[in-house]
Copies of this chain bind each other. A is one copy, B any other.
Amino acid sequence: MTDKKENILHAALELFAKDGYNATPTSKIAKQAGVSEGLIFRHFGNKKGLLQALIEDAETRMGELLAPVIFESDPKMVIRKIITLPFSIDRSEYDFWKLQFKIKWEEEYNNPNKMKPLIDKLAWAFSELGFDGPEEEALLLNQIIDSISISILRDGVEPQASFQSFLLEKYNV
């Protein structure tokens, strides 16, 4: 990966996250990346290809982020780890995750089943802990995590340690 190629990815990420994919012209990306417009197309084929590269990158990272939860064997720790997750996103990666959430609203990129393995794991954990309706609990917690992430990324809400504690206590983990 050359420097300029990475510059393009970085600029595109920032602009897509802020203004949206369709509202961001390739000319603007090139300008911000300090690169000729043509180079975008040499490296990524077309504008969609550039977005695709960002998405694939994200899928890898999402997998890495969820791995410690999926492979955790202590049910309490599963719940604890998933609750902690959105509060531990690094600021420098906000744009990165914001784009992922934003893109879910574009039909062709949204895959509601992507979270299935996580939800299954949560259901298992709740079941182990003797909750009534572990599937429903899993679904609910997944949605809570989702919505916390959204409030942080979209609304710019400061991640509140107190709210994290509140959740940890609520689930007793």
A145 to chain B, nearest CB (A): 9
Known: A105-B102, A147-B144, A162-B136. A156 touches B112 (CB 8 A): yes
State the oligomeric state as a number of copies.
2
A23 closest partner in B (C-beta): B22
Q: How many residues of A contact B (CB 8 A)?
A: 31
Given A22-B23, A136-B163, A144-B147, 11 other A-B residues pairs in contact with their CB atoms under 8 A: A20-B20, A105-B154, A110-B154, A110-B155, A133-B166, A136-B162, A136-B166, A139-B163, A140-B166, A140-B167, A147-B150
B105 contacts A20, C-beta separation under 8 Å:
yes
Q: A148 within 8 Å of B by Cβ?
A: yes
